[in-house]
Chain A
């Protein structure tokens, strides 16, 4: 039924194209190789592109409309797939021989790479690859598209202590004023959120005092939550006025509309999380998928994403980008690289050890 619909759509668009482009052939976008025109023509013929993403369509709005404007005739079908459900959806559909996604764009970096390893991803060297930093690319298949600094956020009306500027100061504060700060500090729960786990894994790498921090956090009866929404609400209301490992891309927007909230970029290191995109193997619209992925990585696409609050990995984008975020972070921005370390984090033994330590620190 779905394929029927797609075919029907394609037929309609084809006739539209014939009217719009009497020449019948497409031009490649500026700077792209000439044979790209073939992909454009084929993509338009396909008529639509299915995107699976936990990023809600509100935030992706600029990206979608920008793409549809750049390639009239290709409709973006946005699928709101919860972060924990992306992997399942992709592997299940592949196993059933009913791949539904063209492009998958998720903040679950480790599982995105796992999907590459499991062969669910189409290898495609993006024409924009040269403009994307190396840490943001994996095996010519997966590309990180955003820079989302992991920051501290606090409620400046309620949290009146001297504000810790880095992880060490936070740990010290928790040790020193543990009694006063009982239940006042919060963070993302790595047991319930895969991306929170990935971030903490990087914390462990970047900060040899990390377990001291978690230990002090546990002693101070710190609270953990499983979604940005809960974190934000708890800090906003002053229930837990201080939070660490908050997604700074969101936090910056919240602080802008809410003067009560202040964002701190830890000055020892600031991890940059991201969301990674790839083209699915056996994608129903493989050409449109390429167009969309390239557009996401292009200056125009990156600008659209950055303007929606998710800073760009490209330095030539005038909106928030790697450089501007890095400047705010005092040059201490550390990206989560798309590499084997991410995959190691998925190993049961490594995870088991982490969670054992985590629980021990927390349940005291």
Chain B
């Protein structure tokens, strides 16, 4: 028994079990639903493989599956190298303006994909502002934003911050002397990056690859806006079709596709674990924690780096947000329209006339700020439970972290709607923000938990061991030593989770109810009635607010990345 308390095994198992319940209950519900012939709550439903037969004999499914796989691959090919390069430039070199860039590179994460897609349409769509200007000047347009290629390209650029975030955290963690040793052995900057820095942050890169594969499989907004017009069908847009194709919503079919998505997790995490099995080679070596000397880029290097970053910034920030900003201030655009004739502030006035929107804004802020903090607290407990804990518990954790990411937000929202409806003691919470919060916590799990785990790994084991040897229990060591040390990292995770909660839209579609409206999901209903003016104004306000919050957090001393 003495051993048990010493290892906090009780706490570890309790936290793992709590996570298991949260993650597995929607997953198991969906799994069960996939083997039924109708809704699970209907007395007419029986067990059967009908849904699997339907899906696996539908040629559209295979088309969507293969397209999604190509889409995921393309996204990774674009975002992983770029994210890793960006992280290297910002953490390891003397790139001019890097302090400023640290915040800016996260901006592509601020917008929900669906809004982002519209931003692109307004900027560089067939009748976009930039497109028309280019055509006037040169007589032709060399791009087309619709189709698989542009979808992969744009999605890749959008996901650069995800890779950047995880790899820069790992790079900051890396003792500088490992790179200096390569420099003094005669290696140039890029050789150092290729041979030392990137291989050493392999765990972070591999996790980013896994996460981005899942994000691509789960992506809905971008494929809908940029893929659909060109007939590009991915699994999520395929699910969308399934809801109406049989007349009465056919959850068993959606569930089968969700199960397919879940199945992708297992080989992915397995490969990830295999690749990292010799993780000890990657473990951080004590290091003196000395000031890292930044690699000098030189004049040519600075220019080259800035050209690259500039192109990326223009494509992934200026174009979509510029598009949204323009849309927010005009009532017409496109071919044959002089934007200056259509300037208006009406779009913003409309915002204030909708009571549900005002509630929605308050709820969204509440969910992202307070709920985000609660989520980070939950992730911290889970991360601590898995911290320096070898064994099956950790394996389970690795799988469970990515699992919710495999499920489209709409389906997680639906599953939680049912759970809150049918689990007796949860009934009182269904009509409160708590149901949304729990769904959001699950949705944000793969982002937040991994950030906190990475931060925890930065705490040198000696610091914990010295706490233990000074007579502190493992829990005291955590609360008195570990948590205070990683406080900046927690702040960073909080801001990150806030951003994700702010822009989330699909999860709330089924869960929200009178009094628990959230902005993201209201956008979905506004879209149905065509109020894109209002959506643009709302999106612009949310970008400005998020940016403001980020700047403020930066001022207050929190760094996003640690």
Contact = CB atoms under 8 A, between A and B. Distances in A.
Do A and B come into direct contact in the complex, CB within 8 Å?
yes
A229 B510 contact: no
Given A84-B244, A191-B244, A228-B528, A95 B42 contact: yes
Contacts of A351: 245-247
Nearest to A5: B431
A226 B225 CA distance: 10
Contact of A50 (B125, B514, B530): B514
B249 A87 contact: yes
A100 B514 CA distance: 11
A80 B418 contact: no
A87 B249 CA distance: 8
B356 A260 contact: no
A114 B528 contact: no
Contacts, number: 182
B513 A229 contact: no
Given A82-B528, A363-B231, A238 B248 contact: no
Given A157-B335, A346-B247, A238 B127 contact: yes
Contacts of B125: 237, 239
Contacts of B224: 226
A77 B514 contact: yes
B518 to A, nearest CB: 10
Contacts of A93: 421
B530 A231 contact: yes
A225 B356 CA distance: 26
B241 A191 contact: yes
Interface stretch (B13-21, B519-527, B546-554): B519-527
Interface string A335-364: 000000000011110010001000000010
Interface in B336-366: 336-337, 350, 353-357
A2 B331 contact: no
Contact of B121 (A2, A96, A233): A233
Interface residues of A, number: 68
Interface residues of B, number: 69
Interface string B350-389: 1001111100000000000000000000000000000000
Contacts of A192: 237, 240-241, 244
A155 interface: yes
A82 B240 contact: no
B41, B229, B418, B521: residue with the most chain A Cβ atoms closer than 10 Å = B229
A305 B333 CA distance: 30
A89 interface: yes
A92 interface: yes
Contacts of B309: none
Interface in B229-260: 229, 231, 237, 240-241, 243-249, 251
A238 B335 contact: yes
30 contacts: A1-B432, A54-B528, A57-B356, A58-B531, A61-B355, A80-B356, A80-B512, A87-B248, A91-B42, A92-B39, A96-B41, A100-B513, A110-B247, A158-B334, A191-B244, A194-B244, A225-B229, A226-B228, A228-B528, A228-B530, A229-B529, A229-B532, A230-B225, A237-B121, A237-B125, A238-B334, A239-B335, A260-B336, A351-B246, A355-B245
Given A57-B356, A229-B527, 10 more contacts: A61-B355, A77-B514, A98-B430, A197-B244, A229-B535, A233-B118, A238-B336, A238-B337, A254-B530, A351-B246
Interface of A: 1-2, 50, 54-59, 61, 77-80, 82-85, 87-89, 91-93, 95-96, 98, 100, 110-111, 114, 155, 157-158, 190-194, 197, 223-233, 236-239, 241, 250, 254, 257-258, 260, 345-348, 351, 355, 363
Interface of B: 39, 41-42, 118, 121-122, 125-128, 224-225, 228-229, 231, 237, 240-241, 243-249, 251, 331-337, 350, 353-357, 414, 417-418, 421-422, 427-432, 509-510, 512-515, 517, 521-522, 524-532, 535
